């Protein structure tokens, strides 16, 4: 293209109205929700950046696929269309649909992981960690160390020496598989290089350990490899994605991300024996192996989504729109995890609010303020989510970072929506010194961030 502006490579086909509630309505909503943004109704939010999971817009071709959905219980046409799309992309011979990513994880780990095992990952996503731990195994994160402000091309990489040391320390018999999350969601949406995937592959090969990808954002990762890794500039995203999959023995996927659907997922692998066990479990929990918890029309939309997500115009727009928000707010001095991730921008609340201690939840305070000021919903990824309450009633053990994640739904918001978000963030950042912390007044014994109730700490 002769011009530099990167445009949204689609026009809008169906719209949903959004509106900003009044300041009084926003304050009332915050109080009703106990200052927990998960308790807001979507209608109380104008720009919803809570998650990029299942929140994207489908294309007219996907909707056309929905009409084609074949709802036969066993062996539907839609299943075979889905299966061939996944096989073509991944090269894996065994393809098992699931209703979302965590169902694929649950089945894979039930079959492969036992009590006392250790599962290394660059960084486990929270459901992945919980499913490993549910088997009585230990989930170990071995991402390369870096500072939030450091600009490096592949901050999602696995620390290869640490991987080797972990296997040596616990013994190869206790490591049933190694997982690689692409992109590294919990580590800021940072990509993994092909070189690093090859190095992990080599270690796994040496010890005879299967390697699986947590491949929810395989296309975004492929695009970063194209942009940043030597030797890939002239390869298509699809060629790069296929090479990524070829290095592993299988994958779990939440298709609510790069599958471009609102619900769906899959488990795929080459090992036939393991797949038979997985299918038996699937029948118990998800459904018959040719639908696995999904309708025929879901399988059609997913097959089409896997095609569209690798389109270069789409990926150029996708990664640019996240970077665009990052550029705008960092230009005004707002501290973020650098560089921008594929699906989200992570604001560094610890750097922005040094006067609020971790046990008064600076990132929660910032997320509340973004909603209070502009009706924008992000999510706290800090001590509320990952800190540990002190059984003796003292301050929580803090999380390593205090972040507010602004996740960008796919093909949903326009550039002016993002301009608005940037304006709200900058305005709130300018008032940072006035902000105060919160205390938790009620919380669940696990995954407390979904339901905890807060109140302001007024000095």
Ligand X SMILES: *Cc1c(COP(=O)(O)O)cnc(C)c1O
User: Which C-beta is closer to ligand X: that of 58 or that of 329?
Assistant: 58
User: Which C-beta is closer to ligand X: that of 163 or that of 253?
Assistant: 253
Angstrom distance (rounded) from CA 316 to CA 336: 22
Per-residue exposure over 234-266, b if at least 16 CB sit within 10 Å of its own CB, e if not: ebebbebbbbbbebbbbbbbbbbbbbbbbbbbb
Give the nearest distance from C-beta 333 to ligand X in angstroms: 30
User: Which C-beta is closer to ligand X: that of 190 or that of 254?
Assistant: 254
What does the chain come to in residues? 459
Cα dihedral 45, 46, 51, 54 in deg (nearest 10): 100
Specify whether the CB–CB gap between 212 and 247 falls below 8 A: no
User: Which C-beta is closer to ligand X: that of 99 or that of 328?
Assistant: 99
User: Which C-beta is closer to ligand X: that of 257 or that of 410?
Assistant: 257
Give the nearest distance from C-beta 186 to ligand X in angstroms: 7
Cα dihedral 311, 320, 383, 179 in deg (nearest 10): 30
Q: Residue 108 to residues 87, 89, 273: CA-CA distances in angstroms?
A: 18, 20, 12
Per-residue exposure over 29-67, b if at least 16 CB sit within 10 Å of its own CB, e if not: bbeebbbbbebbeeebbbbbbbbbbbbbbbbeebeebbe
Give the nearest distance from C-beta 413 to ligand X in angstroms: 19
Give the nearest distance from C-beta 153 to ligand X in angstroms: 20
User: Which C-beta is closer to ligand X: that of 257 or that of 328?
Assistant: 257
Give the nearest distance from C-beta 434 to ligand X in angstroms: 34
User: Tokens at residue 50, please?
Assistant: 């809570």
Give the nearest distance from C-beta 125 to ligand X in angstroms: 3
The residue of the chain with the least Cβ separation from ligand X equals: 101
3-state class (DSSP) for residue 123:
coil
User: Which C-beta is closer to ligand X: that of 218 or that of 361?
Assistant: 218
Give the nearest distance from C-beta 315 to ligand X in angstroms: 17
Residues 6+ apart with CB under 8 A from 425: 329, 334, 347, 370, 376, 406
Angstrom distance (rounded) from CA 385 to CA 451: 11
User: Which C-beta is closer to ligand X: that of 128 or that of 360?
Assistant: 128
The residues binding ligand X (CB under 6 A) are 53, 100-102, 125, 127-128, 181, 185, 214, 216, 254, 256-257, 265
Give the nearest distance from C-beta 23 to ligand X in angstroms: 33
């Amino acid at each position: 293209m002769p011009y530099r502006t990167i445009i949204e490579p689609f026009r809008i086909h169906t719209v949903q109205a959004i509106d900003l509630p009044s300041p009084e309505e926003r304050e009332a909503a915050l109080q009703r929700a106990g200052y927990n943004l998960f308790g807001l109704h979507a209608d109380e939010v104008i720009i919803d950046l809570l998650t990029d999971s299942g929140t994207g817009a489908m294309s007219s071709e996907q909707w056309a696929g929905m009409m084609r959905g074949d709802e036969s219980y066993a062996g539907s046409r839609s299943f075979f269309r889905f299966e061939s799309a996944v096989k073509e992309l991944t090269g894996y011979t065994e393809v098992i649909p699931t209703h979302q990513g965590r169902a694929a994880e649950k089945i894979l780990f039930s079959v492969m992981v036992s009590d006392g095992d250790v599962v290394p990952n660059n960084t486990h996503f929270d459901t992945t960690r919980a499913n490993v731990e549910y088997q009585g195994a230990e989930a170990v994160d071995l991402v390369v160390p870096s500072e939030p402000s450091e600009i490096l091309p592949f901050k999602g990489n696995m620390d290869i020496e640490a991987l080797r040391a972990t296997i040596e320390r616990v013994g190869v018999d206790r490591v049933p598989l190694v997982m690689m999350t692409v992109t590294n969601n919990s580590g800021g949406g940072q990509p993994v290089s092909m070189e690093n995937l090859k190095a992990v592959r080599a270690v796994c090969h040496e010890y005879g350990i299967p390697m699986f990808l947590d491949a929810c954002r395989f296309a975004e990762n492929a695009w970063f490899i194209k942009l940043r890794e030597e030797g890939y500039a002239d390869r298509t995203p699809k060629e790069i994605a296929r090479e990524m999959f070829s290095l592993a023995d299988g994958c779990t996927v939440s298709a609510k991300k790069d599958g471009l659907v609102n619900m769906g997922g899959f488990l795929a692998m080459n090992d036939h024996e393991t797949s038979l066990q997985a299918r038996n479990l699937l029948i118990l929990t998800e459904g018959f192996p040719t639908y696995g918890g999904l309708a025929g029309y879901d399988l059609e939309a997913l097959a089409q989504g896997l095609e569209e997500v690798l389109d270069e115009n789409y990926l150029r727009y996708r990664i640019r729109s996240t970077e665009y928000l990052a550029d705008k707010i960092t230009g005004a001095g707002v501290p973020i995890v650098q560089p921008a991730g594929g699906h989200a921008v992570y604001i560094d609340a610890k750097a922005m609010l040094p006067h609020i201690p971790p046990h008064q939840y600076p990132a929660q305070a910032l997320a509340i303020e973004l909603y209070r000021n502009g009706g924008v919903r992000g999510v706290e990824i800090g001590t509320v989510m990952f800190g540990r309450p002190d059984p003796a009633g003292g301050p929580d053990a803090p999380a390593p970072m205090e972040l507010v994640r602004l996740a960008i739904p796919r093909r949903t918001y326009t550039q002016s929506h993002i301009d608005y978000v940037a304006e709200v963030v900058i305005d709130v950042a300018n008032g940072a010194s006035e902000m105060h912390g919160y205390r938790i007044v009620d919380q669940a014994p696990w995954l407390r961030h979904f339901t905890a109730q807060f109140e302001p700490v007024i000095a």
